[in-house]
Structure 1
Amino acid sequence: MNRRDFSARAAGTGLALGFGLVGQAAHAQGGPLVEGKDYVKLQTAAPVASGGKVDVVEFFWYGCPHCNAFEPSLDAWAKKLPADVNFRRVPVSFSAMHETHAKIFYALESLGQVEALHRKVFAALHVQRKRLDKEADIVEFMTQNGVDAAKFTEAYKSFGVATKVRQGKALSEAYKIDGVPAIGVAGRWFTAPSLAGSPERALAVSDALIQMARKPA
């Protein structure tokens, strides 16, 4: 799904298919990587986080059902990454609704609440069917989950969060991301369940790309 269709569906329904995790022709879980099939190589390198580690980025949207389905496997995988890998999540901002959800993530990040509430935001949208597209509803959800309303509101409206949203948008554009979930590696490649054929294969491809990133360019 291209970015225009992705945004139009988001505006019309509050959800988007993004890179589908189901209904795709599955690749074998093993075998050598095939550029253009398992992953895409960027013609121009995207920015990476400083620190000398292999930079790995998950691009996601809270409103995407496939990101929600991918999250448990991704989270378990991320927690087992070696010490020389820097993993981070970056919410996409394809539309105003995407930006609203991106602000939720970065506000939680600034308050140190991502670990506690990241999965709960997904559950609120996809299990409880809450609408978290208005500030009042978002703040109510946060207070129901133990977050101070004033502190969250201040973070949500802060210059720092707005800056993070702009930086995240710029990074997704540098990676040429048109749908989610997707995983960028070392500013040089990205993969996704739709490319690799399944969530499991996408994570295996990401492991292989991390190995490639460790080799001298």
Structure 2
Amino acid sequence: MRLLRRLLIACALLGFVSAAGASPNAPAAGVEYLVLPAAQPTDAGDKVEVTEFFAYYCPHCNAFEPVLAAWVKKQGANIVFKRVHITRDMNVLPQQRLFYTLEALGLLEQYHAKVFAAMHESRLPLNTDEAVFDWASKAGIDRARFIDTYRSYGVQARMYQANAKMQAYGINQWPMVAVGGRYLTSPYHAHLGQTEQVAESQMQQEALQVMDYLVARAKADKK
């Protein structure tokens, strides 16, 4: 049922599913990637904006993070990379607020991987404000400064913008990668045109191939 729902969502976003036989080397719209009905605004200039929609609690996001980080580094000045922490329910809300607090404090790159490690290696749920405050303090972040920022209007505004972006892109599963404000893909979608079962790591590599294709296509769209 869950797979069928995802397929129906993909069809609804695009309006049709391309013919079978596609692959990450020759990705097809509606299979390995989706095309939004209307392109979303980006602010990357001549570069291509790439945005990951993710959640700290998500094991697939955790597994994808180091692979994605290496890909972003390889792309270099070719892209502008952004992250959007999704919203889901009250258990995830503290994690979303944690992400935007680290971003506001300029500490995201230093602590992003550490949050994943806290949740998936140390098994800290980080599903309450106090649990997040305790983690931040133990991680070496000034507790008072962190709490002030965590509860600030600026962080609340960033969360509002993230939620609006989720709606604009039609995000209902993650990790999901948006390219150029127009295209969407993920490890799940990148393998959708294949019949054989493979490990998640292989699906991730297929996603990177599709992302390479979409970055090139988005760059061509700018000309």
TM range (shorter): 0.7 to 0.9
Aligned residue for 1:58, secondary structure, equals strand
CA distance in 2, matches of 1:126, 1:29: 31
- Out of 200, 205, 212, the residue aligned to residue 200 of structure 1 is 205
CA distance in 2, matches of 1:118, 1:91: 11
Q: Are positions 1:119 and 2:113 aligned together?
A: yes
* Shift in Å, 1:92: 0.6
- After superposition, what is the alpha-carbon deviation per residue over 1:11-46, rounded to whole angstroms, capped at 9, x for unaligned? xxxxxxxxxxxxxxxx99752111111100000122
CA distance in 2, matches of 1:29, 1:118: 32
Would you say how many aligned residue pairs link Structure 1 and Structure 2?
Answer: 194
Aligned residue for 2:92, secondary structure, equals helix
Percent identity of equivalent pairs: 39
Aligned to 1:214: 219
CA distance in 1, matches of 2:170, 2:147: 32
TM-score (ref. length: structure 2)? 0.81
- Out of 148, 166, 170, the residue aligned to residue 172 of structure 1 is 166
Alpha carbons 2:47, 2:219 under 8 Å: kept: no
Aligned residue for 2:63, secondary structure, equals helix
1:174 counterpart letter in structure 2: A
The structure with the greater share of residues assigned to helix is 2
Structure 2 matches for 1:90-105, cutoff 5 A? 90-105=84-99
Q: Are positions 1:140 and 2:145 aligned together?
A: no
TM-score (ref. length: structure 1)? 0.84
Aligned to 1:12: none
For structure 2, which runs of at least 5 residues remain unmatched after alignment?
6-20, 192-202
Aligned to 2:59: 65
CA distance in 2, matches of 1:132, 1:195: 29
CA distance in 1, matches of 2:32, 2:142: 43
Aligned residue for 1:66, secondary structure, equals helix
Structure 2 matches for 1:11-160, cutoff 5 A? 30-160=24-154
Q: Point out which structure has higher relative CO (alpha carbons under 8 A, 6+ apart).
A: 1
Alpha carbons 1:29, 1:200 under 8 Å: kept: no
For structure 1, which runs of at least 5 residues remain unmatched after alignment?
5-26
Q: Could you say which structure has the larger radius of gyration? A: 2
Aligned residue for 2:30, secondary structure, equals coil
Alpha carbons 2:25, 2:209 under 8 Å: kept: no
CA-atom RMSD in angstroms: 2.0
1:194 counterpart letter in structure 2: Y
1:33 counterpart letter in structure 2: P
Aligned residue for 1:36, secondary structure, equals coil
